[in-house]
Amino acid sequence: QGVRDGLDFVVARLASRLSHRPLLLMVDDAHWADGESLTWLASFTARLGELPLLVVQAHRPQELAERNASYVADRDAERGSDGQGATTRVALRALTPDATAELVRAALGEHADDPFCREV
């Protein structure tokens, strides 16, 4: 009950502050989170309703499944047979060495040498 009350409080506070502008909440490397934290995050996002809030959770699917198998099973069951529910899943591929070098050069300029770009 305490966690639910806390969630209700957080959502109510967000609702009062988001009435004039949207918010992005980014959770990176979620595969490192424990099951309880992931369950809290899922409960939190389920309570957001129509608030102008986008929650982005980035994780490595295999590592998330290895560390939190029961959370993944529950999440997949809640999404239904189409695998979506209220979420959109985007699978990203690794960058190629050339694409990585291009990003490094865009950030550091043309003076970034090839060995450095390959090392990154």
pLDDT tens-digit map of 44-63: 888 777 788 888 989 988 88
Q: How far apart are CA 60 and CA 65, in angstroms?
A: 9
Q: How far apart are CA 21 and CA 59, in angstroms?
A: 27
pLDDT band, residue 77 (cuts 50/70/90): low
**pLDDT of amino acid 83:** 47
Helix (H) or strand (E) holding 23: strand 23-27
**pLDDT of amino acid 110:** 80
**pLDDT of amino acid 28:** 94
Question: Residues 2, 32: contact at Cβ < 8 Å?
Answer: no
Max avg pLDDT among 4-18, 37-51, 104-118: 104-118
pTM for this model (two decimals)? 0.63
Residue 36 dihedral angles phi and psi, to the nearest 5°:
-65, -40
Question: Residues 69, 37: contact at Cβ < 8 Å?
Answer: no
Say yes or no to pLDDT of 87 above 80.
no
pLDDT band, residue 29 (cuts 50/70/90): very high
